Structure 1
Amino acid sequence: MRILIVLTSHDTLGDTGRKTGFYVSEAAHPWEVFTAAGHEVDVASVRGGVPPRDGDDPADPAQHRFLSGLGETPAVDTLDPLAYDAVFFAGGHGTMWDFPDNLALSRLTREIFESGGVVAAVCHGPSALAGVTLSDGSPLVSGRRVAAFTNEEEEAVGLTSVVPFLLADRLTAEGATHVPGPGFAAQVVVDGRLVTGQNPASARDAAEAVVGLLSEVRLGDMRA
């Protein structure tokens, strides 16, 4: 099956003077899980080009392999959503500025989900779900259980007053039930074909959950 990993194109951390981008392990570890499972994986970013990155660890072999193959990426608005069986939104603080209420991301998410695909996100990646409505006008997350970077974790990293909003609060305001785990420990919530993880420690488990759901879809196709 074919999976799309989406990265942020935003590189400025508010007015702090610091740089940000996608958090490398949150893309690299899922990429490793997906490719090991035999799936085809594409990587795109909001605006295309070489996406800004944050938090990379040169000692992590998975990150090294992922970054070695990462060059220019296509912009999301140039892609056909129906070419993908799943989309995975990697986190990083940059996502808080260019993922929410993004028309191209919303269209991609809605069309993949409504065509029977899997939508997944980790850490700040669930900000891509903010503002996404289904064809009936309801928010995608309404009535669903989700995980995302918690208010307590945002406070712990000292960025509560820097990010445009608190992610858990925004998802809750759109009708989601936010299900937090212990701070900075792995926490993954699966609600139907929606998979969300709380923080970097959750990235690999979230990807494994996506692989499991795609296996169920493939088995269902074989039985049909």
Structure 2
Amino acid sequence: MSKRILFILTSHDRKGAADDASAAPSGFYLSEVSHPYFVFSEAGFAVDFASPKGGKTQADGLDLSDARNAKFWNTPELRAKTETTLSPAQINPADYAAIFYAGGHATMWDFADDPALADIAARIYQQGGVVAAVCHGPAGLVNIRLDNGRYLVDGKDVAAFTNDEERAVGLHDTVPFLLADKLIERGARHLPAANFQKQVVVSERLVTGQNPASAQGVAEAVLGLLQD
């Protein structure tokens, strides 16, 4: 089995359309990268970083009072990985044991409509790998189709940022779609926990988490599948 994990970060940089100059800044949510990264790296897995456009990405949630955030952000070679991400064209799915979609509100504007990334995820899953996502990262799951024509999430249990959480942060009228609703539309069974509480769901080789509090748990569940 490969000892490499592919992290997907958003290329988008705001909570709104690319041409909306009034939109608040966003990007990948740092703790949804830092916490999983160290789970995998400490278990001996190498992590590569990619994004829809490749190249530089933008961080959100820069809480450096969080020890793992600070360790990641203050390690030059790790921060550099988020500034030099791979593009989909540079990725060979056969190299990876798992793909992990990190969250951040910005993912809602570029993860769902990226057929190249969806194909990479489908190939990793169909070769026996794990697909994982946390918070808004499951936006990357909504259009993944398997070779049998079915959506990856169809018939599977999932967690993702909930409609109630979206309302609680005041962005339910800003995001282009409500993530939980879209997953249900694709045939998933959405299993919500209370707002901002940890919720990790494993369904076959699909691992999802509801919010930032779930990020480390998602990585630990992925690791459990890979080491089983």
Pairwise TM-score range, normalised by the shorter structure: over 0.9
Task: Look up the equivalent residue of 1:29 and give its one-letter code.
Answer: H
The answer for the alignment partner of 1:5 in structure 2 is 7
* SS across alignment from 2:208: strand
Q: How does 1:170-209 map to 2 (within 5 A)?
A: 170-209=182-221
* SS across alignment from 1:158: coil
Cα shift at 1:53: 1.1
Aligned residues: 216
Q: Does 1:64 align with 2:70?
A: yes
Task: Look up the equivalent residue of 1:39 and give its one-letter code.
Answer: F
Cα shift at 1:174: 0.4
CA distance, structure 1, for counterparts of residue 157 and residue 113 of structure 2: 20
CA distance, structure 1, for counterparts of residue 55 and residue 113 of structure 2: 21
Identity of aligned residues (%): 53
CA distance, structure 1, for counterparts of residue 46 and residue 60 of structure 2: 25
Deviations 1:162-216 (CA, angstroms, capped at 9, x unpaired): 0000000000000000000111000000001000000000000010000000001
Q: Does 1:39 align with 2:51?
A: no
TM normalised by structure 1 equals 0.94
Q: Does 1:146 align with 2:148?
A: no
Deviations 1:40-93 (CA, angstroms, capped at 9, x unpaired): 111112211121111111222311232331221111332111110001100000
Task: Look up the equivalent residue of 2:10 and give its one-letter code.
Answer: T
User: Which sits farther off after the overlay, 76-85 or 144-153?
Assistant: 76-85
Q: Which runs of 5+ in 2 are unaligned?
A: none
Task: Look up the equivalent residue of 1:124 and give its one-letter code.
Answer: H
The answer for the alignment partner of 1:222 in structure 2 is none
The answer for the alignment partner of 1:137 in structure 2 is 149
User: Which sits farther off after the overlay, 56-65 or 97-106?
Assistant: 56-65
Q: How does 1:95-106 map to 2 (within 5 A)?
A: 95-106=107-118
Task: Look up the equivalent residue of 2:123 and give its one-letter code.
Answer: E
* SS across alignment from 1:94: helix
The answer for the alignment partner of 1:27 in structure 2 is 33
Q: 2:106 aligns with which of 85, 94, 103?
A: 94
TM normalised by structure 2 equals 0.92
Q: Which runs of 5+ in 1 are unaligned?
A: 217-224
* SS across alignment from 1:214: helix
Do 1:101 and 1:132's aligned partners in 2 also have CA atoms closer than 8 Å?
A: no
